[in-house]
Amino acid sequence: MKFVCDVMLGKLAKYLRLLGLDAVYLKDRAQLKDMGESEEPWIFVTRSAKVTGVPTSIVVQSELARRQVTELKHILRPLVDPTQVLNRCIECNVPLEDIERSEVEHRVPEFVFHHYKRFRKCSSCNRIYWEGSHAKHMTGLLKELLD
């Protein structure tokens, strides 16, 4: 299942990606017409009640991303796989790849290199990821969703 977040929901798209879900962020609603060609089922998520012509759409009420995730809890719960959490680039939506620790020494802060053993890389934008303090934050969100 793919989520398509409209221009008002960039932070929500990042939260969904952190949860391991495929979340497209549309910077322009005109891009929505391109989604009709997608073979994978998708849900359009918006804050605008004026959206018409989109078969599967959900309107979220909150302005806060974490509360928006909670609003979608009934849909997300069966889709979230705890083994896939923190497995996507929050910018590109691409699944992350493991990278050898020796390859990131010059690309991450020294403290990070010495305190973390596992690193992941986005093959699209080349960002480097590690399980820092945000991992604890996501664990709390995951508990909220799955409880």
> pLDDT at position 134, please?
75
Quick one: tokens of 33?
A: 């017409």
Predicted confidence at residue 34, as pLDDT, reads 66
Amino acid 88: pLDDT: 95
pLDDT band of 37, cuts 50, 70, 90: low
Q: Rounded mean pLDDT of 124-142? A: 84
> Given pLDDT bands bounded at 50, 70 and 90, which one contains residue 136?
confident
Beta strands 119-122 and 96-99 are antiparallel
Q: At what angle do helices 10-18 and 133-146 cross, to 10 degrees?
A: 90
- pLDDT for 31: 67
Give the sheet arrangement for strand 128-129, strand by strand.
Answer: 96-99, 119-122, 128-129
Model pTM?
0.87
H helix runs in the chain, sequence order: 10-18, 32-35, 65-71, 73-76, 110-115, 133-146
CB atoms within 10 A of CB 22: 17
In the prediction, which pLDDT does 30 show? 64
Query: Dihedral sign, CA of 114, 115, 120, 126?
Result: negative
Compute the distance between CA of residue 133 and CA of residue 79 in angstroms, rounded to an integer. 24
Tell me the per-residue pLDDT of 49-82, one tens digit each, with 9 for 90 and over.
776 667 788 999 999 998 999 999 999 999 999 8
Q: Tell me the average pLDDT across 40-47.
A: 88
Q: Is the pLDDT of residue 33 over 80?
A: no
3-state helix, strand, coil in the chain (%, to 5): 35, 20, 45
Residue 147: alpha-carbon gap to chain centroid: 20
Share of the chain above pLDDT 90, in %: 61
**Residue 128: band (very low, low, confident or very high) from pLDDT cuts 50, 70, 90:** very high
* CB of 120 closer than 8 Å to CB of 90: no
